[in-house]
Each structure stands twice: as C-alpha cells, then as structure tokens.
Amino acid sequence: MTKARTKSFIITTLIVAAGFFLLANLPNIIDAFSGEGGDNVIHVVDKSGELVAQLQAQLEQSDSEIQAMPTDLSEEELKQGITEGTIEAYLIMEAGDALSARYVSESANEIGAGREVENAVQEIQTALTAERLGLSGAEVGELFLPVNFEREAVSNSSKTEEEMSQARGLVYILILLIYIAVIYYPNMIAMEVANEKSSRVMEILISSVSPVKHMFAKILGIGTLGIVQMMIFGIAGYFAFKTSASELTEGFFSVMGFSDIKVATFLFAVLFFLLGYFLYAVLAALLGSLVSRTEDVQQLMLPMMFLIIIASLIAFSGISMPDANYVTVTSFIPFFAPLVMFLRVGMLDIPIWEPLLSIAIMLVTIGILGWFGARVYRGGVLMYGSSQSLKDIGKAITLGNKK
C-alpha cells in the first residue's frame, strides 16, 4: 500500500495506460500531423496536359485521399509556397520514351503521400508501356498476376502463416510486459531490503517477525502490487483497442495480429508472469539482503540481470522461428522459461505436457531457491558493512545458522 500511494507509481501507471490509448490511435495521430486540416492536394506540373487526369484516376483507384491539381506556377513559386506553408508538395511529370517524375516536399523523410504518388506514377508508366507494346489490359493483368505460393510445415507443432501472424503481435506485447515486470518488481524488492538495512529499520522489523516471514511477506506484497498494476495495464489496453477509431485488422495492427486473441494465451501469460516474478523475486531478495547500501544493489544484481537479458534475447529472436532447437531447449531452463516457453505456447501448437513440465521445473526451482534464499536472508539481513560479492552468501548462511 505504501508503494501504491507513491507519486512515482501512480504517474508511471498513468503514463503506461495512456501509452496504450496512444498506440491504439497512432494511425489517426500520424494522419492528423501529416497535413494541415486534411488538405491533401498535390500540385502537378504537366506540360502535356494529359498525365494529371491519369494520375488522379490512379490515386482514386488506390483509395488515396490525395488530390492531383494541375498548376501553371513556376517551380520557384512552388518552392516558395512549400517554404511558406501554403503548398504541401508538388510533382513535375514529363512524358517521353519513359515517363519521368520528380516529387518535391518540405522533408526528404516524408514517405506517406510520396509513396502513394510514386505508386500511382508507376501504374501510369506500366499502362503507357503496355499501350506502346500493344498489350491489352487483360494481358497486362496476367503479366503482373501474383504467384499462388503457399507454405506448409511438416511439424505437427507448427501453425499456418496466418495463425502465426495472428499470434505474433499479442505474444510480442505480452513477452515485453513479462520482461519489464521481471526486471522491475524483483529489483524493487532488492532496493527495499537494502534501504531498510541502511536505515536500520530492519533491526526493528526482525525483532518482531522472523527474517524468513519478512522475506516472503515482502515478496508477496510487491507481487500483489505488480498484479494490480498489470491488471490496470490489461484493462487500459483492452478498452484502448476496443474504443480505437482504427480497425485492428488494418495497417500496423494487421502485421502485429491483434485481430484474433485467444483467452488461453492470456491465461498462460498470467501464469508465466507469476512464476517468473516469484523465481526472480526470491533471487532478488537473497541478493538484496547481502548489501547494506542501496548504491551496491545494482552491482550485486548484475548476474540476475544478465539472465533476464539473455532470456529476452532468446524470446524476441524466437518470434520469427519459434520451433528452432535452441528455443525448445531453453524453454525448459527455469530462468529462461517464463519468456521462452510462453513464446512457444503462444506461437506453436505444442503438446500440453511440455508447458506443464516447464511449469513443474520452475515450481521446483522456486521451492529450492525459497529454501536456500531463506537461509541466506536469515543471516544476510544482520550483515552490515561493504558487501559487493557473491562470496558473502556463505557468511550469511553461517550467521543465520548461529542465530
């Protein structure tokens, strides 16, 4: 409750929740800033007087909102108009043996309207070339007819390309959330323990409650805080995408695959979040009990951070090839399983015994770490002075046994 009332926690939660609404409406925001008042007019310099109509027809055929307007202004006047903000862009088209076009806008990095105009000009060039060669419209259509290319996997665990696309976006987002949570909350535990030791509050606490109870109470308390925060993120994300003005099956969202979300994926995400949290939280509490100053926490937490980073690298690289051998093997390693096994569950149709076995291995590991961590924590909270080495674990166990 103390952490939940802090300004940093409230502000961070609000910023992330607002980020979901920003992401859901990103296409509309980009469109709002891409032009002034939605005026998508491009001025076209066409000496032949025949290409503007063809350009406009191609733009309309591709459902573009850009309006091609012929102009008699000189190029110097057009450039001045762009500088003053009265003109967004202009296009110079010249017909000949090959159609040539030059698109001029304020920024060379502008790719939205420029790409649409380029595609329309390319279509005109194709039509003119076909006319010169005497090809009919049907023959041109056959020339550019896409090949019927399908992918089929022999492995029983592999999904189709469409199913992979549908799962990719959600799995990516959930892996990112689990990764952030596994870093953030255990680190919070280590900092809290070190802070209580540096302020001598720890001596008062363990005089009324055993160090072991104190350790697991702190783990459960921060864990509950994490669950509440993740629930807020989940609710905010759900309503953000449901109330979005954008269709979740178009553009960016079609690539990320938010159009088909399975409940089982969410359930596994919650399960692996909890297991990953408790696994690293016990380890963080163990390491945090060895230091007396908050400045030393990060140095002692470095090995744990490396484990999380390696797990994330395997998981993110495995999104494109979830059935790779190295992904399969590491999904059963407890410190990598929260991210890697969840990736396989979300992206592949694997036998149920595989995630259950990974979960069982993690539970056994959490139990062993909990037992070992309690022994270290019992003596570690009583150790003061400079402590920046894992060698102090032995000292903590010895001191805990004496106590």
Q: Is the pTM of this model over 0.85?
A: no
DSSP state string for 139-179: HHHHHTPPP-------STTPPPHHHHHHHHHHHHHHHHHHH
**Buried-exposed string 328-361: b where 16+ CB fall within 10 A, e elsewhere:** bebbebbbbbbbbbbbbbbbbebeeebbeebbee
Report pLDDT for 19. Answer: 84
Q: Is 85 helix (H, G, I), strand (E, B) or coil?
A: coil
Q: Determine the pLDDT at residue 382.
A: 65
For the segment(s) 39-143, the CATH number from 3.40.190.10, 3.50.50.60, 3.30.70.1380, 3.30.420.40 is 3.40.190.10
DSSP alpha helices (H): ranges in 26-153?
26-34, 51-61, 75-84, 112-133, 137-143
User: Where do the structural domains in the chain lie, given as residue ranges?
Assistant: 39-143, 159-402
Order of strands, sheet of 67-70, starting from the edge strand that comes earlier in the sequence: 67-70, 41-46, 89-94, 100-105
- Would you tell me the crossing angle of helices 337-347 and 297-318 to the nearest 10 degrees? 20
* Cβ atoms of 53 and 106 closer than 8 Å: no
Report pLDDT for 252. Answer: 46
Cα–Cα dist 66/41, whole Å: 6
As averages over each run of 10 residues, the pLDDT of the chain (403 residues) reads 84 86 73 56 81 82 80 85 82 78 71 74 80 73 68 55 59 76 81 76 74 83 86 82 59 49 74 86 79 72 85 85 87 90 83 91 90 76 60 65 58
Residue 64: the pLDDT is 78
Q: What pLDDT sits at residue 362?
A: 92
